[in-house]
Structure 1
């Protein structure tokens, strides 16, 4: 399971001209899933994401987690995070989990975040053609792969 986390001052997701998710200060999380991912990956990744100290404290130092800061979250499925570009110029997405595996893991990831944060987590729509708009605050962008825990 791989995430790209962006600290945002605002973000939204639009599908077919309709805004389906919108937040102010918080995190936009792009989530990529592979067949080998499990609940253990979800648990580890949720804990890591929610406890990253990437929000400013009263002195402007990145010393607060999302939970400390009270920010919101949008999670967007992104199979292209697992693109392989080793051969040729057309990325291969063979590592990305198919929907029958990815959708339940995606939904569980969102539920796990929600239970820890204690408020609704906004999402895009799995498999949809989405337009993601954001203002990256900082900019702060962090990539985490649950398979690289060491």
Structure 2
């Protein structure tokens, strides 16, 4: 499971020009679910995300976690994080989990994260416009297999 985490001042999702989700300060998380992912991957990522210290303290040093700044999270399903462009010019997405199973793990991830942090989501599999106002910018890629 791969999470691309962006520290944001705000983030939102629109579908057909209608805003369906919006957060203020926090993280925009693009989540890619891979074929071999399990509930264990969810627990590893959630634990790490809750404790990550990506927000500045009074001296400007990244020393505060999302809970300490009363932040929120916007989670967006993003199967293209499984893309491999090693051969040719068209990415190969065979490492992505099939949609039915991926949706279940995505929803479980969001529910587990929401136990700790106010969490909003997009709609799994939908074509979405995702807006962000980066803060920093600060962007981090977490791979559950490397935690």
TM-score class, shorter-chain normalisation, is over 0.9
Deviation at 1:58, TM superposition (A): 2.3
Aligned to 1:133: 131
Write the distance in 1 (CA, Å) between the matches of 2:43 and 2:144.
Answer: 10
- TM superposition outliers: structure 1 runs of 4+ over 4 Å: none
Gap regions ≥5 residues in structure 2 = none
Aligned to 1:146: 144
Aligned to 1:49: 49
Deviation at 1:90, TM superposition (A): 0.4
Deviation at 1:59, TM superposition (A): 2.3
| Normalised TM-score (structure 1) | 0.95
The more displaced of 60-69 and 122-131 is 60-69
Write the distance in 1 (CA, Å) between the matches of 2:144 and 2:29.
Answer: 14
Deviation at 1:68, TM superposition (A): 1.6
- Name the Cα RMSD after superposition: 0.9
1:79-125, Cα deviation, whole Å (9 max, x unpaired): 000101111000011111111110110000000001122x3x11011
2:69 equivalent to 1:66: no
Gap regions ≥5 residues in structure 1 = none
Deviation at 1:24, TM superposition (A): 1.1
1:34-84, Cα deviation, whole Å (9 max, x unpaired): 121111100010011111100111222210001122101100000000101
Q: Alignment length, in residue pairs?
A: 147
1:16-43, Cα deviation, whole Å (9 max, x unpaired): 1110111111000000001211111000
Aligned to 1:26: 26
| Normalised TM-score (structure 2) | 0.97
